[in-house]
Amino acid sequence: MTSSATTKVTLPSDTEILITREFDAPRDLVFKAMTDPDLIPRWWGPRNQTTTVDKMDVRPGGRWRYVMGAPDGTKSAFRGEYREVVAPERVVQTFEWEPMAGHISVETATFTERDGRTLLTVRSKFSSKEERDGMVASGMESGLRETHDRFAELLAELRD
């Protein structure tokens, strides 16, 4: 199992967050696992929460919406629109947390395969430094690391 220490989060500019993680799987499989609505609930979000895919239309102009459920029963939703989908190389989508509607980032995910492993690079662009800093302050990094660990576990299962 890949350790969460391999997820790197950096701030390349005042309005961006750059996330990288290498996964031990070919990029076709990584891309499929990230774009298959049946697989999203198995890896998206922290382990102590459930994720339901409300909608996921993976094509330019298509929309997505996931609802996370906490152990105490509270729900929180995330949504966006796909702007570009080039299988298995790249996905560009918007990202918005519904409780803070109107604060929308644009995420560009690229998938680069080397020797059967895939480097996932996600560049999130925000409209201001304050919005970027708000995302960083939200605790997103710990949830992201746990999500990436769960994703690596799912990829190992799918490879077998």
Per the CB < 8 A criterion, the answer to whether 36 and 30 are in contact is no
Please name the residues in contact with 83: beta carbons below 8 A apart, sequence gap of 6 or more: 60, 92, 93, 94, 106
Q: Are strands 50-56 and 16-23 parallel, antiparallel or unpaired?
A: unpaired
pLDDT of residue 140: 86
Helix segments in the chain, DSSP class H:
27-35, 129-137, 140-159
pLDDT of residue 100: 85
pLDDT of residue 27: 97
Would residue 64 count as lying in a domain? no
* Structure tokens given for 22: 């290498």
- Tens of pLDDT along 136-153? 998 888 889 999 999 999
Would residue 153 count as lying in a domain? yes
Closest CA to 126 of 14, 8, 10, 12: 14
Would residue 120 count as lying in a domain? yes
Q: Please give the order of strands across the beta sheet that includes 104-114.
A: 8-13, 16-23, 117-125, 104-114, 90-97, 75-86, 63-69, 50-56
Q: In the chain, what's the furthest Cα-to-Cα distance? A: 44
Per the CB < 8 A criterion, the answer to whether 68 and 51 are in contact is yes
Would residue 74 count as lying in a domain? no
What CATH number does residue 137 fall under?
A: 3.30.530.20
pLDDT of residue 6: 87
Residue 4 pLDDT class (50, 70, 90 cuts): very low
For residues 35-62, one letter each, b for 16 or more C-beta atoms within 10 angstroms of the residue's C-beta and e for the rest, the string is beeebbeebbbbeebebebeebebeeee
Would residue 54 count as lying in a domain? no
Residue 1 pLDDT class (50, 70, 90 cuts): very low
Would residue 71 count as lying in a domain? no
As for how many domains the chain has, the answer is 1
Would residue 19 count as lying in a domain? yes
Query: How distant is the alpha carbon of residue 56 from its chain centre?
Result: 13
What percentage of the chain exceeds 90 in pLDDT?
A: 88
* Residue range(s) defining the domain that contains residue 37: 4-45+84-159
Would residue 116 count as lying in a domain? yes
